Amino acid sequence: MIFKKQVVIKEIERESSYDYRLLKTWAEIDLSSLRNNIKFISRRTGRDIAIMAIVKCNAYGHGAVEVSREAVKLGVKALGVSSLSEGIELRNVFSEIPIIVLSSGMSGQAEEFIEHRLSPVVCSWQMVNALSEAARSRGTKAAVHIKIDTGMGRIGVWHKQADEFVRAVYNVPDIVIEGICSHFATSDEEDLEFANQQLSWFADFLDKISDIPVRFRHISNTGGIFNLPSAHLNMVRPGLSIYGVSPSDFVKDSVKLKPVLSLKTKIAFIKKIPEGRALSYGRTFVTDKPMKVATLPVGYGDGYPRMLSNRGYVLIGGKKARILGTVTMDQMMVDITGIRNAKVEDVAILIGKQGREEITAREVARMADTIPYEIFTSINKRVQRIYIDRD
């Protein structure tokens, strides 16, 4: 059975229904865990709160189309992306659901936004005017989400002057304000003082424009969903939580989420190394005793962090195997001296469970001095995605 770039496989663990021989390094995406997480978030927020599933950057490396398909089946009300091209990719598959481009819209793309019925985030008259002209020429209206800056500082109209901007946009005949949004900067931290200040500013602003009909009002990312129930408004934007990972130790109840992605490879070569021999580029590791070393066909060219050189580990045979030397573009070496019966083509776990051991995306991120978001989004297209469904 030869696999193409995207494959859906059922009962993979119980029935071994695909041929491991054809795989080298791959990511398994568990659709049943994905559904569990969306349902858990929905229960947490309540049936009256709409969910915008954040599927930008190829759904955090999980596959935008496949993740969106499951999310739409579960009744999410919108999909959130970060660029025009991401929006077009999804609009070619999903004809009706609102697709919101969350980064600042570019006026030169106005025609494409209208053609593909995408909803850009706007916070400038340059973009509003371009959208209005493009919509008028097609005899339609442009749906937009207006971004309010309450302290994140990236994009948006500062909240103290935003009501004037929103009222002016509302009076543009070719524009429909589909949503009003802001973004938390610290909702996943232990100290929620500034997040509560942002929420207060946003609530005051919404009071000022309460007479203007707006379909969606949203500020809550994953941290806001779990830590600030009063911030749910009538729409939330779960991102990392959909994929079963908490952004920090301070996000309440996120332990009930189930990781969706496992990253796997296989042993390509095994050799015995004598004491005193250096390994990999830069000779950063020298054996202090005879060792048994396995080479894995994965490296930073696949998105696995080079920062894990001499500090990370993988799982082989249900045991930890530490990384030896520098992680290279396509290969790296691990210590299997204490792992009996390890052999070529055995599966090695880079993220996920094996036996009683588990290495999480957050743990990999910690060892690499980064965050889980970067770990997921760095896994590139060279790594084949395999979709499994345990239900």
Segment 342-347 mean pLDDT: 96
Share of residues in the chain with pLDDT > 90 (%) = 90
Residue 285 has pLDDT above 80, yes or no: yes
Q: Examine the domain organization and report whether 94 and 240 are in the same domain.
A: yes
Structure confidence at residue 18 (pLDDT): 60
CATH label of the domain that carries residue 211: 3.20.20.10
Mean pLDDT of the chain: 94
Q: Examine the domain organization and report whether 210 and 125 are in the same domain.
A: yes
Structure confidence at residue 351 (pLDDT): 98
Nearest to 384 by CA among 267, 268, 295, 263: 263
Q: Examine the domain organization and report whether 222 and 94 are in the same domain.
A: yes
Q: How crowded is residue 107: how many other Cβ atoms within 10 Å of its Cβ?
A: 18
Q: Examine the domain organization and report whether 321 and 225 are in the same domain.
A: no
Query: Of residues 56, 147, 264, 266, which has the active-site annotation?
Result: 56
Q: Examine the domain organization and report whether 215 and 305 are in the same domain.
A: no
The whole domain housing 55 covers 48-248
CATH label of the domain that carries residue 338: 2.40.37.10
Q: How crowded is residue 331: how many other Cβ atoms within 10 Å of its Cβ?
A: 16
Q: How far apart are CA 222 and CA 131, in angstroms?
A: 30
Residue 30 counted as domain residue: no
Q: Examine the domain organization and report whether 156 and 237 are in the same domain.
A: yes
| Composition of the chain by helix, strand, coil, percent to 5 | 35, 25, 40
Residue 227 has pLDDT above 70, yes or no: yes
Domain end call among 215, 248, 281: 248
Residue 7 has pLDDT above 90, yes or no: no
Torsion over CA: 359, 360, 362, 364 (sign): positive
Segment 157-165 mean pLDDT: 96
- The H or E element spanning position 42 is helix 31-45
Segment 171-186 mean pLDDT: 97
**Bridge partners of residue 319, in order along the sequence:** 316
Based on the residue annotation, tell me whether 56 is a catalytic residue of this protein.
Answer: yes
Residue 20 counted as domain residue: no
Structure confidence at residue 13 (pLDDT): 39
Q: Examine the domain organization and report whether 129 and 53 are in the same domain.
A: yes
Q: Scan for tokens 């050189």, then name that residue.
A: 309
Structure confidence at residue 11 (pLDDT): 35
**Strand-strand pairing, 142-149 and 78-81:** unpaired
Residue 222 counted as domain residue: yes
Structure confidence at residue 105 (pLDDT): 81
Segment 115-144 mean pLDDT: 97
Structure confidence at residue 17 (pLDDT): 54
**Each residue's pLDDT tens digit, 19-69:** 767 889 999 999 999 999 999 999 999 989 999 999 999 999 999 999 999
> What is the chain's Cα-based Rg?
24
Residue 317 counted as domain residue: yes
Structure confidence at residue 22 (pLDDT): 84
**Each residue's pLDDT tens digit, 180-204:** 999 999 999 999 999 999 999 999 9
Residue 25 counted as domain residue: no
Share of residues in the chain with pLDDT > 70 (%) = 95
Residue 41 counted as domain residue: no
C-alpha 283: how far from chain center: 35
Q: Across the chain, how many H-helices and E-strands are there? A: 12, 22
Q: Examine the domain organization and report whether 352 and 280 are in the same domain.
A: yes
Residue 255 counted as domain residue: no
Structural domains counted in the chain: 2
Residue 1 counted as domain residue: no
Q: Lowest-confidence range among 3-17, 54-68, 190-204, 219-233?
A: 3-17
Backbone φ and ψ of 365, nearest 5°: -60, -40
**Each residue's pLDDT tens digit, 306-333:** 999 999 999 999 999 999 999 999 999 9
Q: Examine the domain organization and report whether 213 and 276 are in the same domain.
A: no
E strands within 15-172?
25-30, 50-54, 78-81, 99-104, 119-122, 142-149, 157-158
Residue 115 has pLDDT above 80, yes or no: yes
Q: Examine the domain organization and report whether 94 and 121 are in the same domain.
A: yes
Based on the residue annotation, tell me whether 208 is a catalytic residue of this protein.
Answer: no
Q: Examine the domain organization and report whether 278 and 370 are in the same domain.
A: yes
**C-beta of residue 112 within 8 angstroms of C-beta of residue 82:** no
Query: Of residues 20, 39, 252, 281, which has the active-site annotation?
Result: 281
Q: Examine the domain organization and report whether 175 and 200 are in the same domain.
A: yes
Q: How crowded is residue 269: how many other Cβ atoms within 10 Å of its Cβ?
A: 12
3-state secondary structure of 321: strand
